[in-house]
Amino acid sequence: MSARTMEPLSYDPRGAFLETTGIAPADLEALRPRLLKARDEVLSDAELWAKGAAVPEAKHPLDAGFTFLPDRLLAEYRDQGATSEVGRIIAAANRIAEAVDRIVVLGIGGSYMGARALLESCCHAYHNELPRAARDARPRISFEGNNVDNDASQGLLDLLGRGAEAKSVDDRWGILVISKSGGTLETAAAFRQFLAALRQSTGRDANRLAQLVVPVTGPSGRLFDLAKALGCPDVFNIPDGVGGRFSIFTAVGLLPAAVLGLDIVKLLEGAALANAHFQTQPPGHNVALDYVGVCHLMEEKRGATIRLLSTWGKGLEAAGLWYDQLLSESLGKQEKGATPITVVNTRDLHSRGQQHQEGKRDKLVTNVIVDRYNRDRLAIGRSDLDQDKLNELADKTLPDVMAAAIAGTNEAYREDGRPTTDLHLPRLDEATMGQFFQMLMLATATEGRLIGINPYGQPGVEGYKKHMNAFLRGKK
C-alpha cells in the first residue's frame, strides 16, 4: 500500500460544540490565523534545523529533526536499498530474529515506549504467549531498564534462565539497549545486570555475546564506548536533533518493530502521509491543527486542563501512555500544559467513568476509535443455558457491542454537557500507526508554538536525575 492509497485518520470535533460547557465552530474559525502561524513556525523550525543554521537563543533547544525524518528515511531507502539506514535496520532485525527466541529491550521513556506501543497495536494480542511457529519465528519481547524495580528485574532474569547456557534458539535471547548518552541510570544499571546474565548464557563466548547485543545510542558517550569495547557488529545511531519522546521513527522504534516482523516501511509511509496532510490542509480539514485548536480552546475557555485519551479497545493503551509522555514533557513547563490521562474502554468505564461523567468539569475526552477490526467478528452466540438472557443478542458481535458502548457513552456525556471528540483510525496496522504517532508529534510541537512554550527539552527530568545521583554517590 503506497502513501497515496493509504486511508487517512479523521477527526470529528462536533461533540465539543456545546453552548455552555464547550466551544463553538466560530471559536475555531477565530483561532485559524494563530493555528496557521504556529504551523508555519513548526515547519520553519524543521527547515532551520535541517540547514544547520545558527539557532536563535530563544529557540534553544531545537530538536526539530523528527519532522521530516520519515520522508528522508524513505527517500534514502528507495535510492540506496540495503545500504540505507532502513535497509541496515531490517537486516540487523532479521539477523537477531533468526538467532534468538526472546529480545530484551532496555530503555526508559521514549527509548522504549514507542516500541511497546507498536507491539500492542500491530502484533497479535498475545504475541509473547504464542509458540515460535505461530509468531512467524519472530522473538518474544520483554522490556526492562525502565524502572529500578528489584523484583521485576529478578523475575525477568528468572524467565531468561538465570544465565544458564543456551543450547538452542528456543532458549537463546539477546539485548537491544537504547540510550542516547548511556548515562541514564535506570537503563545503564539494567544493561550491566542483563549483560552479565547474557555473557553466562553464551558460555562466556565474547564473539557470540557481541552478536546478541544491539545498541542504539549517540555518536559518543558511555553506551557508545561500551558497544565498541564489546565489538557489537550492529550499532545504530540516534540522530542529533531528535529528542527521546520524538524518536519513534529512528532506530529507537524501528529496530524493535522490525525484530517483531512489522513492516517499518509502511510505518514510515504512514508518517510521511501525516506530514503531507499537516503541510497542505487548512484548519477545518487538518487533523493535527483541528485537534490542537479544540484542545487549546477547551483549556482556555472552559478550564479543561485534563485531557482524556479514551482508547476503545486494548491495543492502544501503550500508545496512549506514549502520548502521555510526549505531551507532559513537551508542554508541562512554566506552570503551563494540560495533564494527559489514557483510559481504555469499555474497561475503565467501570472504574473511572463515574468521575468523568459527574466529576469536575475540567476534562476534554478524545475518543480514539478503530473503524475496522483485523480479525473476524466474534458473535456472542446462542446457548442452551440462557439464564444470562443473552440469546436475544446471540447474533450481535463484539464490534457491535463496542459501537453501542461508544455511542451510548458519547450520548450520556452530551446529555450532561461533557465535551467529547472522536479521532478515527481506519484499522490497527503499521500504516495507520505511522500516521497516528506523527500526527500527535506535529500537534504537540504546534501547540507549544501556539502557547509560546518551547516543546523541546525536558528541564524537570534533568532535576530528578541530578539529585538521585547525588544521593546515590553520598553527596547529599
Contact 276, 333 (CB under 8 A): no
Cell 524495580, located at residue: 149
Q: Is 124 a catalytic residue?
A: no
Report which of 366, 301, 303 is spatially closest to residue 338, judged by C-alpha positions: 303
Q: Are strands 420-425 and 363-370 parallel, antiparallel or unpaired?
A: parallel
From 19, 57, 167, 350, the catalytic residue: 350
Q: Is 329 a catalytic residue?
A: yes
* Backbone φ, ψ for residue 11 (5° rounding): -130, 130
Contact 346, 405 (CB under 8 A): yes
CA 445 to chain centre: 15
Other beta carbons less than 10 A from residue 5's beta carbon = 8
Report which of 259, 258, 235, 239 is spatially closest to residue 247, judged by C-alpha positions: 239
CA 302 to chain centre: 29
From 333, 396, 424, 465, the catalytic residue: 465
Q: Is 285 a catalytic residue?
A: no
Beta strands in 127-268 (DSSP E): 140-144, 173-178, 213-217, 236-237
* Backbone φ, ψ for residue 143 (5° rounding): -125, 130
From 329, 356, 430, 447, the catalytic residue: 329
Alpha-carbon Rg of the chain, whole angstroms?
23
Residues involved in catalysis: 329, 350, 465
